[in-house]
């Protein structure tokens, strides 16, 4: 028969007799561990953690005025050039990648891929004719950057854009980092030549009919031989006539293709980008990001280099760059300091609002008007350099339009039109007529 434990029975550990049969336990219940306050709660408890009090453009304007900001970094993307008529890359329906379907590319990014360019440069140069420098004018966003320069506040403008509109707006080259290169120069990069002995392979059974823009051997290593470029540099004006005339500029030294100094997929970013970011970001006192999706690395990671206490303002159509511990923190629930502000909408409207809040409207308007006059004058001077032969052709065509056939002439033409053509003929000087 089982025995009932005695009150005097020893504990299982061999200690003194247990009294649990008669006495309630005196052990204390475990205390709850108190969690530290969240980053958001910490900012409420300690106001010194709020570099700005709210994530607004008004707060950034207040900060600039109160803290005497002098070293502004501006990071820009395609969104600052859309009002100039240049499409951005990723907007559905209107973005550049959506509009590239007419080039019959294997994938949209192929037009900016070095391996594809070395085989088929035609699509890139077809697009280049549309984006060529001189076709477009700077936007208010570009002139905002220029205004910061005029005030001695621009530390650097890091841009993803290749359109050179920053230069057109008068931003000093020394204050520019064209992270993805630009149309400012060109160089021989070589070419790929198809091997004539190569026998094209038949499509695989699983391959869709529209998987490729041409043969299945487009990227087969055996089908092509790489001819290394000599690296000879060319000015853009020296190759402009060929590009605009529908030709592919070819190196005069080695027969390689000439490519503008744009950073393609498959190429390293300029050394200047890596060198200056190490120098600029530790000393900046404000970062302004305008018109970018922040999707292309390493440019997308630049915001992470800003020191913890430096405010960052995003002016954009959508919220971007919130990934990661040091990404944008507009709510204030990630980082130690509240320092990020957001303005959603058209980029030009955003910079105009900031300019107004800073009290810079008159200077901004005067700068844009002065620059418009300068660009108008430069355009007129460029047209004045037009070769005399082209002038004669243009005038002859104009005469034909005014006079027309004998039958049309009897119907009468406005005298003003005929006078205009006569004036053009008079303006042809002896110097112009020397061929």
Radius of gyration of the chain (CA): 33
CA distance 330 to 318: 13
Cβ proximity of 224 and 195 under 8 Å: yes
Pairing of strands 181-194, 233-234: antiparallel
| Active site positions, annotated | 180
Tokens in use for 252? Answer: 């005069």
* 3-class secondary structure, 192: strand
CA distance 400 to 87: 37
- CA distances (Å), origin 173, targets 166, 184, 252, 303, 380: 9, 11, 29, 22, 24
- Concatenated DSSP letters of 10-71: BPTTS-SBP-TTTS---PPPPPPPPPPPPHHHHHHH-GGGBSSSSSSHHHHHHHHHHHT---
Beta strands in 137-175 (DSSP E): 154-159
Tokens in use for 198? Answer: 């190569």
Residue 312 DSSP code? E
Tokens in use for 49? Answer: 């953690």
For the four alpha carbons of 76, 154, 162 and 327, in that order, the dihedral sign comes to negative
For the four alpha carbons of 242, 244, 247 and 249, in that order, the dihedral sign comes to positive
Residue 409, exposed/middle/buried by CB under 10 A (0-12, 13-18, 19+)? Answer: exposed
CA distance 383 to 269: 35
């Amino acid at each position: 028969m089982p025995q009932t434990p005695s009150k005097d029975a020893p504990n299982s550990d061999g200690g003194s007799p247990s009294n649990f049969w008669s006495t309630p336990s005196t052990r204390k219940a475990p205390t709850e561990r108190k969690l530290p306050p969240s980053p958001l709660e910490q900012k409420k408890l300690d106001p010194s953690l709020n570099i700005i009090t709210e994530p607004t453009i008004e707060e950034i304007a207040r900060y600039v005025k109160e803290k005497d900001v002098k070293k502004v970094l501006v990071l820009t993307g395609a969104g600052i050039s859309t009002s100039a008529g240049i499409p951005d890359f990723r907007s559905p329906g209107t973005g550049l990648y959506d509009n590239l379907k007419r080039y019959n590319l294997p994938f949209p990014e192929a037009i900016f891929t070095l391996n594809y360019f070395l085989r088929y440069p035609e699509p890139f140069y077809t697009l280049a004719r549309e984006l060529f420098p001189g076709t477009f004018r700077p936007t208010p966003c570009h002139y905002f950057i220029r205004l910061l320069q005029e005030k001695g506040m621009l530390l650097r403008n890091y841009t993803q854009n290749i359109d050179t509109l920053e230069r057109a707006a008068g931003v000093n080259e020394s204050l520019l980092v064209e992270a993805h290169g630009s149309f400012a120069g060109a160089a021989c990069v070589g070419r790929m030549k198809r091997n004539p002995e190569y026998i094209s392979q038949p499509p695989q059974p699983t391959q869709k009919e529209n998987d490729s823009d041409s043969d299945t051997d487009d990227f087969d290593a055996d089908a092509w031989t790489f001819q290394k470029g000599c690296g000879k540099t060319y000015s853009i004006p020296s190759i402009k006539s060929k590009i605009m005339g529908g030709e592919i500029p070819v190196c005069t030294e080695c027969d390689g293709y000439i490519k503008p100094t744009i950073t393609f997929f498959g190429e390293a970013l300029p050394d200047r980008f890596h060198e200056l970011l190490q120098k600029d970001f530790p000393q900046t006192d404000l970062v302004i990001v305008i018109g970018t999706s922040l999707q292309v690395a390493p440019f997308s990671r630049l915001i992470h280099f800003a020191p913890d206490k430096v405010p960052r303002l995003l002016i954009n159509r959508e919220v971007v760059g919130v990934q990661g511990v040091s990404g944008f923190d507009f709510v204030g629930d990630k980082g130690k300091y509240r320092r990020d502000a957001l303005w959603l909408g058209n980029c030009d409207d955003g910079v105009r609002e900031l300019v107004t809040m800073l009290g810079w409207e008159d200077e901004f308007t005067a700068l844009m008007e002065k620059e418009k006059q300068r660009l108008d004058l430069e355009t007129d001077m460029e047209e004045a350099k037009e070769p005399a032969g082209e002038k004669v052709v243009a005038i002859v065509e104009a005469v034909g339009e005014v006079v027309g056939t004998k039958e049309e002439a009897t119907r009468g033409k406005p005298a003003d039109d005929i006078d205009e053509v006569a004036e053009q003929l008079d303006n042809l000087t002896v110097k112009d007529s020397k061929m």
